[in-house]
Amino acid sequence: MTGSVKSPTLSLAVKALFESLIDYAGVFPPASLELKVAVDNYLAYRDREYSWVLSRLLATAPQICELPSLIPDNLGNPIPLSLITKTPAEDLHKIEKALLALRHRVTLASIEVTLNCNEDLSEQINQVTHSVASLATENTRPFIYFEVIYGDEWKNRVRRLLAELRLASTTSLNSTGFKLRCGGLPQSFPTPSDIAFALHETASSQMPIKFTAGLHHPFYRRALNGVVEETSHGYFNVFFAALMAHTRGCSLSYLERVITESTSTPAVSNDRIMWLDSSISAEEIRNTRATRVISFGSCSFDEPILDAVQNGWLR
Q: pLDDT per residue over 175-192, tens digit each?
A: 999 999 999 877 778 999
Confidence of residue 7 (pLDDT cuts 50, 70, 90): very low
Q: Are 232 and 259 in contact (CB under 8 A)?
A: no
Q: Are 288 and 247 in contact (CB under 8 A)?
A: yes
Q: Which residues pair with 272 in a beta bridge?
A: 281
Residue 295, pLDDT above cutoff 80: yes
Average pLDDT score over residue span 210-235: 84
In this prediction, what percent of the chain has a pLDDT beyond 90? 79
Domain residue spans of the chain: 12-310
Helix axes 154-168, 192-204, angle to 10 degrees: 20
- Could you tell me which residue, 9 or 6, shows the higher pLDDT? 9
What's the pLDDT at 227?
A: 52
The string of DSSP codes covering 122-187 is HHHHHHHHHHHGGG--SS---EEEEEE-SSTTHHHHHHHHHHHHHHHTTT-SS-EEEEEE-SSSGG
Name the DSSP class of 78: P
Q: pLDDT per residue over 127-182, tens digit each?
A: 999 888 888 877 788 999 999 999 889 999 999 999 999 998 877 767 999 999 99
For residues 122 and 143, give the distance between their C-alpha atoms in angstroms, rounded to a whole number. 18
What's the pLDDT at 142?
A: 94
Residue of 116, 139, 137, 140 lying closest to 128 (CA atoms): 116
Q: pLDDT per residue over 61-90, tens digit each?
A: 999 999 999 999 988 899 999 999 999 888
Residue of 186, 135, 109, 197 lying closest to 161 (CA atoms): 197
Q: Are 132 and 143 in contact (CB under 8 A)?
A: no
What's the pLDDT at 151?
A: 86
Residue 265, pLDDT above cutoff 60: yes
Q: pLDDT per residue over 233-262, tens digit each?
A: 999 999 999 999 999 999 999 999 999 999
Confidence of residue 37 (pLDDT cuts 50, 70, 90): very high
In 213-307, beta strands by DSSP E: 221-225, 228-232, 267-268, 272-275, 278-281, 293-298
Average pLDDT score over residue span 282-294: 98
Q: pLDDT per residue over 93-128, tens digit each?
A: 899 999 999 989 999 999 999 999 889 999 999 999
Q: Are 243 and 284 in contact (CB under 8 A)?
A: yes
Residue 5, pLDDT above cutoff 70: no
Q: Mean pLDDT over all residues of the chain?
A: 92
Q: What predicted TM-score, i.e. pTM, was given to this entire model?
A: 0.94
| Answer CATH for 12-310 from 3.40.50.10860, 3.40.50.1220, 3.90.1150.10, 3.20.20.70 | 3.20.20.70
Average pLDDT score over residue span 25-53: 97
Written as one letter, the residue type at 7 is S
Average pLDDT score over residue span 305-315: 95
Confidence of residue 224 (pLDDT cuts 50, 70, 90): low
What's the pLDDT at 43?
A: 97
For residues 203 and 283, give the distance between their C-alpha atoms in angstroms, rounded to a whole number. 18
